[in-house]
Every structure is written in structure tokens, then in C-alpha cells.
Structure 1
């Protein structure tokens, strides 16, 4: 199977991720209209626990990606298959244990965390999803290790399509029984989507398995030891990152009550933070996640073959890509938060200021994700865990202190998120420079994309107002200005020399 370059792999996964996240908005728009901010609050309260499982188990597919890439480099075909088998075994235990725990203690969790009792049904339905995600994530790690991102990209589309079709359908079917049941039906869509995507990747694997041509696989217990050694620190890092979202789930509703809000209003504010603002923030983050998935196997291969110069070049390219993604996302969401929310949620613009200020966290989140992937790809897995833990502590402290202040309320959680990721990304950069002895060209990596993003924003705002004066339509103005903004930004990155056209063409065609 032919390998893909860092830029090409990132582009394939990134476009798939953005497309599937936009497709996910087609899930949220009808569901939002059906159950409103209150119902989305029930859905969102349970989702961070599922995200914690994803975070805890994330180390295994990333470890699979790294180990498969290293074994391909030394032509260890038997080790490739063994790595996948052990990973599925581990994920099976994790998923069954997590699902069983949520089924057994769902009512206790709702009570202890002081959630609205109606959120119980969503929690039960989301508890099923880990069973289907287990095999799916391992197979994605396998194909990423082969440095072929296309199967993962297609599986992401299928997973989201299943979630949209069945999640919206169940929500619509159950709405007559009550908002809480419709929210639960929407949660169940995640499980069905995971099942569909998993079946597709299993079919793809069976075809690739024939190409690998391994007749007899020798059992090697060292593979399991290596898998655990790599996966545990990565899972811890991902779990800490997931805990940042869980902190909001635990602290924000409670602290909003202390700030003087009732249950309903605190649920609505929490929904605006996590069900609207965070969802739109996650759209550009899809590109950075794709960058991380592409980066780990490529960095791992260069590291195991001692290609230091190639590795440093890949790191610089990755950091540049990170800020090319981050800066236009920051400025676009900050200055266009109101029309974007109006477009996506059909006039339900409550929470647009939350989105506006939460967008300030985007560069720090993307930088933290990218630098973590670099460190993980070179067996330096523990340091990002510690750095994210420090960020998590800062996030928790600020959320705990600021949210109960009536004038601050939900924005205290936003400040905590920005500060937490800023600290984690700064500590990762320090470790990166120390570990690799690498010189970072801040002008090329940060300043040039910022120039391009600022000029792009000027044009976007001007175009938006100009089109609005003619059409008197917020939605048409938003679509036209954002589309032209993407085109303008692409041109500006070439004009400012962020990337040379020839270099982009070369990276897309070959490694």
C-alpha cells in the first residue's frame, strides 16, 4: 500500500474531518430545533464521559500507528498483524469495562454531579458506543501506521453519516415522549455510526491482510509490553485533555447555580458553551487532529531510522501547518461569531459571545495537540502528560473561582480553557526545543500566517457588510464572505511565502 506524505495525509484527513464535522452540524441543527438548548444540555452533560473513554483509549490506536510504522520500516510483517491483534484485545477489555460501569452507576453519577435527572437517559444511550468504537479505533491506527489516511477518512464520513441519519431519526421519533427521550435517541446515533464505520474498516483490513502475505504469525509477548509502554502515557495525556471538558461538565452547572442561575438557565448556558461554541471550535480543530494522526507515524519512522534532519524538517512543517490552520480560525470565529451561529443554528444565536471569546483558545489548543504528537512520535510520551496536567489544574482552578462570580459566570470557564491550553502549549514548546535542539523560525511559522489572517479578516468583514447591504440576508452574506475568505487566505499564504507553490505540489505528489 502506497504511503502518503505529511501534507497529503493531513490534507486528506483534514478535509474529511472538516466535512464530517460540517455533516455533524446537520445532526445538531435539526436536533437543536427539536429539543432546544435545554434538550441539548441533557445530551451535552453525558457526552464528556464518553469523551473521557475516547481519551483514555486513544493511546492504543496511536501506539498501533507508531508501532506499525516502525515495523514496516524494518520489514517486520508478522509484528504488524500481532500489534493489531493485541490492540483489539486491549480495547475490548476497556470498552466492555467502561460500558458496564456506566450502566451500573448511571443514576449515581447523575446524582453526585448534580445534573438534571432527565440527563440519565442520554447517559445510558451514550454508554453503548464504546463497544463499537473499540475495533474501529484500532483499525484506524493500523491504516495510519501504513501512512495511508484514506480508509480513516472514509470511515469518519461513514461514522458521522450513520450518526446523523439514525441520531436525528430517533430524536424525531421520540420527541412526542419528551425532550429527555429525544436527547437519548440522538445519543444512540453515535453507537450506530461507530458500527457502520467499523464494518467498513474491517472489510478494508481483510483486503490489505492478503497484501501483507504473512502465512504464520509467531507470538511475541514483547509486542504487548511495547504496546502498553507506548499507549499508557499517550492515553494519560489524552485523558487529561478530555478531563478539561469533563471539568466543565462537573463544575460549570454547579457553579452557575452558585452564581444565582436556576437549573434550567444553567443547563442552557452550559449547552451554549459545549453544544454551540465548542462544536464550532472543533471544526478547525479537526484539521489539527488530522495533522497529529499524519505526524506520528512519519516522525516515528524518521526517528527509528535516525534521520534527524528529515525529522527536524517535518517538525517545522508541522508547526507551520498548525498556525496556518489556527490563525484564520481564530480571526474568523472571533469577528464572525454572530452570523456563523445564525447560519448554523437558524437564528438561535444565544451564546455567540461565548463562541467569540472561546475562539481565542484555538491557537493554543492546536499548538498543544501538534507538539504533543511530535513528542509522542519520538518516544517522549510522558512530558506532554505532565504539561497537560498543569494546564488542567489551571483550568479547574480558574473555572472554580470565576464561574460563581455573577458578572463572570460562563465566561470564567472560557478564561480557564484559554489559560490551561496556553500553559500546556508553552511547556511543550520548551520541551521540544530542549529535546530536539531545534531552532524555531517564529517569523515564518507564526507571523506570516498572522499577517495573512488579519488581511483576510478585513476582506471578510468588508465583503459581509457589502453583500448584506444588497441582499439583506445574514446567511447569504455569511456564506459568501467565508467562502471568499478561504480563497483570499490561500492566495495570501503564497504571496507572503508561508508556503511556496512548488513546495506544496512536491509534498502532495511524493514524500
Structure 2
């Protein structure tokens, strides 16, 4: 199978991620129209449990990607298949086990969490998702390890389409039986998406297996141990982030009450933070996640082959790409916060200043993700988790101390996120520089992308006001200025010498 460069793999996965998020709107909008806030509430109650499973199981695909890449680099094709088979077995046990737990203990879970009894159908329906998602994740890790992101990218789109068709279809068909049944039908869409995405990957695996030409594979028990050794720290890191979101949901509203806000005002502020700002910030993080998925197997391959210069070059390239994504995203969301919210949530642009300040955390979050992928790619699995835990403690301290201050309120939570990720970012980069003996070229990796981003955002603001004065529509002006910014930014990357055109042509455009 032909390998892809870091840039091409990132772009392929990034585009697929953005398409999937766009398709997700075709799930949310009809669902909201069909079952309203009450039905969506039943659906959402069970969703955090599903996301917790995703976080817990996230380490195994990463481990598969790294181990497959290492064995593929050394020509150990039998080892590639051994890793894949063990990962499928492990994910099957994990997925079906989690499904069984949710099905068996659904009533006690609802009673313990004090949910409405009508949420039962959503919980039972979404319980089937881990069984299918787990198998699909193992296949994705396999293809990422072979450094070809096309199949993973396509499976994301197929998964989302399956989720929409089945979820919205069942929600519509079951609506006459009651809103709770309709919400359960929508929840079943997650399992259907995993099934469809998995079937697509199985078909592609059959073709790839013919290329590898390994027919008999011996059993290697050490592989399972190595898989867990890599997967557990990665999963812990994801679980920490997931648990932190749950803690945040408990701390912030409570501390806003201490600041003198009413229950209603506290809910509004927290909703603006999580329901608007976080959703928009997650868009550039989709591109960052794509970079990390492409980066892990590439770094692992160079490291296992002891190509130190190549590792350093890949680190330099990954930080460049991170900042090329982070800086324009931060400046764009900060500068156009109001018109962007007005474009996406017509008539509900309140809280745009919360989005502005939340955008300042984007570079730190992306650099944490990238540096974590690099460290785990070269074999340092525990240290990034430890650094993230330190950052989480910083975040809690700042949130607890700042949010109760009336003049700071919700912005204390934003400061907590910025502070926590900034500390984690610094700890990761210092450790990385020390262990890999890298002298980071900050002018190339940070200053140049920052300058290009400032030039771009200046042009965007001028275009926005020109179009707005001509049309008197902030939505049209916002849409056209964002498109113009994308068109302007790409040439600026070449003009500022961040990437040479010949390099982009060779690594991405060349077939």
C-alpha cells in the first residue's frame, strides 16, 4: 500500500473530519425539529457514557497504529497481521463487555444518576454502539499504521451517513409511540454508523490483505502485552480530559452561583461556553486531531529505524503544521466572533465575547495534542499523561478561585483552560527538547505562521467591512470574508517561506 506524507495524510483526514461535522448538522437539526428539547434531553443523557467508552478505548487504535507502522517499516509483515488480529480481539472483548454492562445495569444506572425513566430507551439503544465502534476503531488503527489515511477518512464519512439515515429515520418512525421511543431510535444511529463504517473497512482490508501476502500467522502473546503497555497511558490521557469535562460541568455553574448569579443566568452563561464556544473551537481541533493521527505512525517509523535526523525534521514539520492551523483559527474566531455566531446561530449571537477569549486557548490545545503524539510516537507514553494531569490541577485551581469573582465569572473557566493547557504545553515541549535533543527553530515554526496569520486576518477584516457596507448583511460579509481568508492564507504560507511551493507540490500534489 502506498504511504502518504504527513501533509497529505493530515489534509485527507482533516477534510473528512470537517465533512463529518457538517453532515452532523443533518442529524441534529431534524432531530431537534422532531423531538424538541425534551427528546434531545433524553438522548443527551446517555451520550456521555458512550463518549467515556470512546475515551477509554481510544488508546488501542493509537497503539495499533504505532506497532503496525514499526513492523511495516522493518518488513515484518507477519507481525503487522499479528498486531491487527490481537487488536481486533481486544477491542471486541472491550466493546461487547461495555455493551453488556450498559444493557444489564441500565436500570440501576438510571436510578443512581437520577435520570428520567424515559431515558431508558436511549441508554439501551446507545449500549449497542461500543460493540460496533470498537471493531471499526481497530481497523482504523491498522490503516493509519500503514500510513494511508484514505480508508479511515472515508469510513468517518460512511459512519456519519449511516448514523443520519438510521438515527433520523428511526426517530421519525418511532415518534407516534412517544418522544422517548423516538429518542431511543436516534441513539441507535450511533451503532448503525459503527456497523456501516466497519463493513466498509472490512471490504478494504480484504484487498489490502491480498497485497501483504501473509497467509499463516503464528500466535505471539507478547503483542497483547505491548498493545496494552502503549494503549493504557493513551487511554488514561483521554479519560482525564473526559473526566475534566464532567468536573467542569459541576464546578462552573456552582461557582457562578457563588458569584451572585441566578440559576437561570448561570445556566445561560455555561450554555454559551459549552454550547457555542466549545463547538466552534472544536472545528480547528478536528484538523489538529487529523495531524496527530497522521503523525504518530510516521514518527514511530523513523524512530524504530533510528533515523534521528528524520525524527527531528518530522517534529519541526509537525509544529509548523500545528501553528499553521492554530494561529489563523485563533485570530479568525477572536476577530469575527460576533458575525460567526450570528451566521451559525441566527439571532442567538449572545456570548460572542466568551467565544473571543476561548479562542485564545486554541494554540495551546493544538500544541499539547501534537507534542503528545510525538512523545508517544517515540516511546514516552506516561509523561504526557502526567503533564496533562498537572495542567488539569492548574485548571481546577484557577476555575475555583476566579469564577466566584463577580467581575470575572465565566471568564475564570476560560482562564483556567488557557492556564492548564499552557502549562501542559510548556512541560511537553521542554521534555521533548531535552529527550530528543532538539533545538526548536521558533522563528520558522511559530513567528512565520503568526505573521502570515496576522496579514491574513487584516485582509479578512477589510473584506468583511467592505462587503458589509455594500450588502448591510453581517452573515453574507462573514461568509465571504472567511472564504477569502482561506484563499489568501495559502499563498501567504509560501510567500513567508513557511513551506516552499516545490515541497507542497512534491508531498501533496504529486501523485
Q: TM-score, normalised by structure 2?
A: 0.91
Matched, 1:84 2:84: yes
* Residue equivalent to 1:302: 302
Q: CA deviation at 1:123?
A: 4.7
Q: CA deviation at 1:406?
A: 5.3
Alpha-carbon distance between aligned partners in 2 of 1:42 and 1:139, rounded to the nearest angstrom: 31
Alpha-carbon distance between aligned partners in 1 of 2:262 and 2:166, rounded to the nearest angstrom: 33
Deviations 1:427-483 (A, max 9, x none): 100111011000111111111111111222222122122212222333222211100
Change (3 A) 1:492 1:181: farther
Contact 1:39 1:183 in 2 (8 A): yes
* Residue equivalent to 2:443: 443
2:484 partner SS: helix
Alpha-carbon distance between aligned partners in 2 of 1:354 and 1:112, rounded to the nearest angstrom: 34
* Residue equivalent to 1:392: 392
Gaps of 5+ in 2: none
Change (3 A) 1:208 1:184: same
* Residue equivalent to 2:24: 24
Alpha-carbon distance between aligned partners in 1 of 2:268 and 2:127, rounded to the nearest angstrom: 23
Change (3 A) 1:99 1:261: farther
Change (3 A) 1:393 1:129: farther
Gaps of 5+ in 1: none
Contact 1:129 1:188 in 2 (8 A): yes
* Residue equivalent to 1:331: 331
| Segment drifting more, 224-233 vs 306-315 | 224-233
Change (3 A) 1:423 1:113: farther
Superposition map of 1:372-451 within 5 A: 372-405=372-405, 408-451=408-451
| Segment drifting more, 105-114 vs 41-50 | 105-114
* Residue equivalent to 1:203: 203
Q: CA deviation at 1:484?
A: 0.3
Q: CA deviation at 1:277?
A: 2.2
Change (3 A) 1:271 1:202: farther
| Segment drifting more, 275-284 vs 138-147 | 275-284
Alpha-carbon distance between aligned partners in 1 of 2:186 and 2:405, rounded to the nearest angstrom: 33
Change (3 A) 1:259 1:165: farther
| Segment drifting more, 471-480 vs 133-142 | 471-480
Superposition map of 1:223-238 within 5 A: 223-238=223-238
Alpha-carbon distance between aligned partners in 1 of 2:175 and 2:408, rounded to the nearest angstrom: 34
| Segment drifting more, 355-364 vs 55-64 | 355-364
* Residue equivalent to 1:159: 159
2:291 partner SS: helix
Alpha-carbon distance between aligned partners in 2 of 1:468 and 1:48, rounded to the nearest angstrom: 41
Contact 1:159 1:194 in 2 (8 A): yes
Alpha-carbon distance between aligned partners in 1 of 2:76 and 2:478, rounded to the nearest angstrom: 52
* Residue equivalent to 1:290: 290
Q: TM-score, normalised by structure 1?
A: 0.91
Matched, 1:146 2:146: yes
Alpha-carbon distance between aligned partners in 2 of 1:440 and 1:323, rounded to the nearest angstrom: 13
* Residue equivalent to 1:244: 244
Q: CA deviation at 1:399?
A: 3.3
| Segment drifting more, 498-507 vs 88-97 | 88-97
Deviations 1:9-28 (A, max 9, x none): 11111111122222223333
The higher-RCO structure (CA 8 Å, 6+ apart) is 1
Change (3 A) 1:251 1:199: farther
Aligned length: 511
Change (3 A) 1:424 1:103: farther
* Residue equivalent to 1:498: 498
Alpha-carbon distance between aligned partners in 2 of 1:11 and 1:160, rounded to the nearest angstrom: 19
Change (3 A) 1:165 1:221: same
Alpha-carbon distance between aligned partners in 2 of 1:27 and 1:350, rounded to the nearest angstrom: 24
Change (3 A) 1:455 1:120: farther
| Segment drifting more, 469-478 vs 285-294 | 469-478
Change (3 A) 1:455 1:500: same
| Segment drifting more, 102-111 vs 306-315 | 102-111
Alpha-carbon distance between aligned partners in 2 of 1:250 and 1:180, rounded to the nearest angstrom: 26
Change (3 A) 1:391 1:169: farther
Alpha-carbon distance between aligned partners in 1 of 2:109 and 2:404, rounded to the nearest angstrom: 22
Change (3 A) 1:81 1:324: same
* Residue equivalent to 2:219: 219
Alpha-carbon distance between aligned partners in 2 of 1:180 and 1:259, rounded to the nearest angstrom: 37
* Residue equivalent to 2:362: 362
Q: CA deviation at 1:90?
A: 1.4
Q: CA deviation at 1:412?
A: 3.3
* Residue equivalent to 1:454: 454
Deviations 1:301-332 (A, max 9, x none): 11111000011001100000000000111111
Alpha-carbon distance between aligned partners in 2 of 1:422 and 1:179, rounded to the nearest angstrom: 44
- Root-mean-square deviation (CA, aligned residues, Å) is 2.8
Matched, 1:95 2:95: yes
Change (3 A) 1:181 1:270: farther
Change (3 A) 1:152 1:399: same
Q: CA deviation at 1:99?
A: 3.0
Alpha-carbon distance between aligned partners in 1 of 2:57 and 2:129, rounded to the nearest angstrom: 13
